[in-house]
Amino acid sequence: NAGVTQTPKFRVLKTGQSMTLLCAQDMNHEYMYWYRQDPGMGLRLIHYSVGEGTTAKGEVPDGYNVSRLKKQNFLLGLESAAPSQTSVYFCASSPGGGQPQHFGDGTRLSIL
Amino acid sequence: AQSVTQLGSHVSVSEGALVLLRCNYSSSVPPYLFWYVQYPNQGLQLLLKYTTGATLVKGINGFEAEFKKSETSFHLTKPSAHMSDAAEYFCAAGNTGGFKTIFGAGTRLFVKA
C-alpha cells in the first residue's frame, strides 16, 4: 500500500545545477500537485495536474517545470537551481475536487 | 484574497488535557475547510474536512472541528491529549472547484507527560 512515493528523499545541489523530482501514486488519482514547504509559511502550490498530459501553474511556479506523461507520475524539474529553492517539496494526489488528500513523505532539497 | 490564520505557532498541553488549535479564514464565500496533521519527516495527513452541511465535523484520532461562519473560524479540538498527538497541524481553505487551497503557517503541538 504505497500511496504517494517521492524520490529522492534528500538532495544537495549547487547553484545552477538541474534536477528532477519524481512523484508516483498507485491510487489511480486524476489530480496531482507539487507543493513547497518553508518554515512559518505553510505549503504553497507550485504546479498541479488534473489528468495525464495536463499541467497548470499554482501560486509559486517560477523556476520550476512539470510534466505528467503518465497518469501515475508527476515530475518536478528545476532547470537552474537557486538558493531560494532550498525547501521541502511535497507531492500530493486526490481523486478529484482540487484539494490534496494524500501526500508523499517529502524531498528535502538544499541548494548551495 | 483568501487567507488562513492559525493563532499560535506553538501550543503546549499536558497529557489528558483539552487540545484547542485555532484557525480563522478570510473569505467572502464560505470555503471548504481542512485540518491536516504532519508528523516528523512525513507528509501531511488529512484529519478532517468541512464542505457543506453539518458544521461540527469529526475526524480521525478523536479530533473534531466546528465551522462558525459568524466568526470565520474552524478551530480544532480534542477532549484529551495523548502523547502521540504531538505533531504539526495545518488548517487550510479552498473554494468549490478551485485549486488554490491556502494553507495556514501551522501550529506545532507539544504534549507533556
Q: Per residue in B55-82, pLDDT tens?
A: 899 999 999 999 998 999 999 999 999 9
Residue B37 grid cell? 496533521
pLDDT score for A17: 96
Contact residues on chain A for B9, CB-CB shorter than 8 A: 40
Q: What is the pLDDT along chain A (112 residues), one digit of tens a residue?
A: 679 999 999 999 999 999 999 999 999 999 999 999 998 888 999 999 999 999 999 989 999 999 999 999 999 999 999 999 999 999 999 987 767 889 999 999 999 9
Q: How far apart are the first and last CA of chain A?
A: 35
Give the residue from chain A lying closest to B43, CA to CA.
A105
Contact residues on chain A for B101, CB-CB shorter than 8 A: 45, 98-100
Quick one: CA dihedral A109, B23, B99, A50, positive or negative? positive
Residue A104 touches chain B, beta carbons under 8 Å? yes
pLDDT score for B97: 59
| Beta carbons of A42 and B104 less than 8 Å apart | yes
Give me the residue from B45, B94, B104 closest to A98, CB to CB: B94
pLDDT score for B51: 87
Contact residues on chain A for B92, CB-CB shorter than 8 A: 42-43, 99
Among the listed residues A103, A79, A89, the one whose alpha carbon sits nearest the alpha carbon of residue A31 = A103
A17 CA: distance to closest CA in chain B (Å): 25
∠ at Cα A36 (A35, A41), nearest 5°? 115
Kind of pairing, strands A107-111 and A10-13? parallel
Cβ atoms B31, B94 nearer than 8 A: yes
Residue A89 touches chain B, beta carbons under 8 Å? no
Res. B110 pLDDT band, cuts 50 70 90: very high
pLDDT score for B98: 60
Give the residue from chain A lying closest to B10, CA to CA.
A40
| Interface probe, candidates B44, B51, B107, chain A, greatest A C-beta count within 10 A | B44
Higher pLDDT, A19 or B98: A19
**How many pairs of residues across A and B have Cβ atoms under 8 Å apart?**
57
Residue B49 touches chain A, beta carbons under 8 Å? yes
Give the residue from chain A lying closest to B46, CA to CA.
A101
Give the residue from chain B lying closest to A90, CA to CA.
B43
